[in-house]
Each structure stands twice: as structure tokens, then as C-alpha cells.
Copies of this chain bind each other. A is one copy, B any other.
Amino acid sequence: MEVTRKNYKDCLNTVYSAIEEADFLAIDGEFSGISDGPNVSALTNGLDTPEERYTKLKKHSMDFLLFQFGLCTFKYDQAKSKYITKPFNFYIFPKPFNRTSPDIKFICQSSSIDFLASQGFDFNKVFCHGIPYLNQEEEAQLREQTEERRNQHANGVGTPSFISPSSSKGSSHVPEEHKDFINKVVEKVEALMVNSEKTLDLEPCTGFQRKLIYQTLNWKFPKGLHVETVETEKKERYIQISKVDEEERKRREQQKLEKEQEELNDAVGFSRVIHAISKSGKLVVGHNMLLDVMHTIHQFYCPLPEDIQDFKEVTMCVFPRLLDTKLMASTQPFKELITNTSLAELEKQLKESPFKSPQVETAEGFPSYDTAQEQLHEAGYDAYITGLCFIAMANYLGSFLTPPKAYISARSKLIEPFFNKLFLMRIIDIPYLNITGPDLQPKRDHVLYVTFPKEWKTSDLYQLFSAFGNIQVSWIDDTSAFVSLSQTDQVQIAMNTSRYAESYKIQTYAEYIQGKQQEKEKQT
């Protein structure tokens, strides 16, 4: 089901109940880009530590926009022995809520945009009809603002933040230069009170003048008036004053309150879906989902914390139970059976023996996806097949039980080992980021950190280390790389030979980490 700003409000209850009834959820995001600095391979160095990877992604990937969010809910139907799916494809765009709301800037990376364009992505749906959102702080601010405005209008006194330091004379103080203006307004209102008109439209004026009008009228005419700010077609704001009896006045105030509440909810927008996912506590499945998780938190909850430990804690609040199908497919017993863990290939392989295509059915009223007709890189479809992959792999685990079980639920102990471990792309010796515990710390005694002139190629490194047998090169940037030797005891020999080299420099991995640590301490 496609969800945009136009049908969002009508769909919200459908989304809520789909989440509520589900056994597990699958998600996927599409972004306006991946890296605003280093190219992708420098961003994902084979010998990053989890902390380095997190820091790089946070620094270089978070200013892009998550502009399509796929959610597919899976509910097991015992009677049919099938999962019933409800796929949603949300278009997201931070349309400014009003004149004071944040005017979000985001980056687009041409290669990513071009890739999505080639897949038939509909940018107009994003930019013209995307659902807005607020993070928690923006939401709190907006609630506060609304509250303040309400108080100000209601009693005319103004909350402290509206009293500027010098105008301590309080609510009735009108600065000299506005006195004329305000007196004329009062005269007009006095006329309104005795003539036969029902309403009076004032001329458009500044926000400060409007504030003065509210204060003055509330003070001079505590009863019999309803005062409201209205916007012209040209977005000029003016004040409309209506004569009303007390009952009508209260009714209007109530109406206004409800309208404000609704506008507020509209502004929180898509974040409400994420809040519902969090609150449900359901298992959330994704494929290679670290960036999806980071973007979701960054965009709909809070700016990402500096420290990876804090990030893990926030993640557990937002997504209490995660499972990454790329990590699952790269782990025993799947590792030996699956040659290519990219989502499309994985989905194909899991249809073949020894795996079994999961039995699924799209819920009534939802457009059904056909995996034969690939719609890859539409977030809703990607979430859907991610869910299929999870089911196929989970059920495969059931085949080892005695007696074998054809259906393994999302609550089964069998899948617990895969919980809360997010796949770390291309890191040679650390398969995952462990959200609920300390990360693996593999030995890197055989790794050298080499710096050299930027004319060097991989072949120069092979040549330099030709005496050491098989080596593995992990480029960092165009003047440095990690070189992994096949034998740790050769490290010292390499270090010794390099002592007098002028064009290049070698450090052990331990020295490199120490240097980085010192740099970090210097900065703080």
C-alpha cells in the first residue's frame, strides 16, 4: 500500500493494527545518498573497528534524506499455515510545518539519485506528497510553542518567554511607536461592538503587532469577542475579530484547540509510525540494516550520539529486537550454503533446495507483490522479500529439530542467536555490530598500516611485500592502506626493512590505533 501525505491520515489506523497483530515486521529505507565525502570503499574499510565504522557513517551519511520507508508486517495464520503480509511503502519529505518550523537541508548524491531514477523511482511522489515528520525534540518544541500561544491568547498576559527584558511594565505596555496603531484597532473594535457587522478583518501586520493586539483586546474586551489569526492566499497573516456570545466563544476556543492538536499530530507525521513500531516491541527484520537503523533514529528520534555505546542504548530503546538477514545468511549454518548474500540473490537462493519458499499471502485490500517480477529498490518490496528471506532461513533451522518442524516462529529460541547483531559490511574479521554487548576484538597483529605517495597502485604494494608471500590490501585513501601479512612473525621483519625507507612508511596496527587515540584525546 502506497502511503503519501494525501492518504496518510486515513491509513494510520490500518498501519497501527497491522503492527499490533504482526508476529514480526520487516523494514527497508531508501536514501538520497550514501557518502558525502569518502567513496564507498573508503567508507567501508576492511579493517575498520565497529567504532570507526559508526563514526564514519555518522559523519558522512546522516545528512542524506531517508525518503522512502518500507514496512511489511507478517502475521502467521495457523489455520492456513501461512503468513499473511501487509506491505506499506511510505514516501517521506520534511515539508516545513509552518514559518517557524525547521527548514531542513539534505544532501543528494548524484550516483544514488541516478541509480534510483534508473529503477523507476518516483521523485515527484517524495517531494510533492511526502509525509512530514519531526524528531522528539522538534515535537516537544512545537508542543511548547502551541501551549505558549494558547496561554498568551487566553489570558493576554504572555508567558515569561514573551516578556522582553526591558518591557517589564507587563502586558498592557505598548511601545511608543505602536501606540497609534493599537489605538486605531481599539477604536475599530469599539465600533464593531455597536454596529451591525458580525466580523472585522484587520489589515495584515507584523507578528509583534499581532501580539500587541491580542494582549490589548483580551484586556479591554474580556468578553464577547473571538480573535483569530487568518492567512490570506498570499500567506499574509491578519487578525479577524468576531462578535460572539459566551457559549459561541467557548465553542470556538474548543474548536481551535482541537484544530491545533490535529495540526500538531500532522506535523509529527511519519514519526508516529516509528513510535508505534518501537512501542510494539516486535521483532524488526532488515537486510544489511545498519544504515537503515541509523537513519531512522537520526531522522525520527534524535541526532545520533557521539559515542557508539550510547548509540547502542538508543537503538535498543527504538528497536528492542532487531535481526539482520544479511548477517544471518553469512553465519553458520547458512554461510556454507549461500554464495551471494545480496538481497535479490539471497531471495532467489532461498527458493531452492535445501530451503523452501515460504508460504505467504497478501492481506485483502493490499496490492500483492510478485517476486518473479522484481520490483527491487522500492522500499516496500525490499521489506517484503527481506521478510521472506527471514522466514525461509528460520524454517530451515527447524529442519534440524527432532522431529523436524516446518514452521519456526519469530519467538523461537532457535533464532535468538541472531538477535541484535547488525551486519558490518566488508569488515574482514568482525562480522557484526553487537547492539546488546561488547564487540568482537579480533587480533590484528599481522596487519601493517602503510603510507606512501599517491602515485602508488596496488601492484606497488604487492611488489613492496613480494618477499612475504600472500598479502591482502585494504585501501584507506590514496596515500594509505592496511596490508595484512599471512604470517604474524613477518611483521617485525617488514618493520625493520622499512626503517630507512623514504618514499613510504610502515606502522604496526597497534601503533596506528594508538596514534588515532592520541589524536582524539588532543581534540577533546
Residue A362 CB within 8 A of the other chain: no
Knowing A167-B460, A176-B466, A463-B167, the reply to whether A110 touches B123 (Cβ < 8 A) is no
Which chain B residues lie closer than 8 Å to A494 at the CB level? none
Stretch at the interface among A98-106, A406-414, A434-442, A479-487: A98-106
Q: How far is the CB of A242 from chain B (nearest CB, A)?
A: 28
Knowing A122-B124, A462-B177, the reply to whether A94 touches B106 (Cβ < 8 A) is no
Most buried by B among A96, A108, A167: A108
Copies of this subunit: 2
Complex Cα spacing A404 to B176, Å? 52
Closest to A162 in B: B457
Instruction: Give the total of A residues in contact with B, Cβ under 8 Å.
Output: 49
Closest to A40 in B: B103
Residue A165 CB within 8 A of the other chain: yes
Cross-interface CB contact of A96 among B114, B126, B463, cutoff 8 Å = B114
Contact B459 A175 (CB under 8 A): yes
Contact B456 A164 (CB under 8 A): yes
Most buried by B among A94, A122, A127: A127
Complex Cα spacing A418 to B167, Å? 48
Contact B110 A108 (CB under 8 A): no
Q: How far is the CB of A174 from chain B (nearest CB, A)?
A: 9
Complex Cα spacing A453 to B161, Å? 13
Cross-interface CB contact of A105 among B33, B65, B128, B459, cutoff 8 Å = B33
Q: Which of A86-118 contact B (CB under 8 A)?
A: 93-96, 103-111, 113-114, 116-117
Given contact pairs A166-B463, A177-B462, a sample of 10 additional A-B residue pairs in the complex whose CB atoms are under 8 Å apart: A96-B111, A107-B108, A108-B108, A122-B124, A123-B124, A164-B459, A166-B460, A175-B459, A208-B458, A208-B459
The 5 closest A-B pairs by CB, nearest first: A117-B128, A123-B123, A104-B110, A103-B111, A94-B110
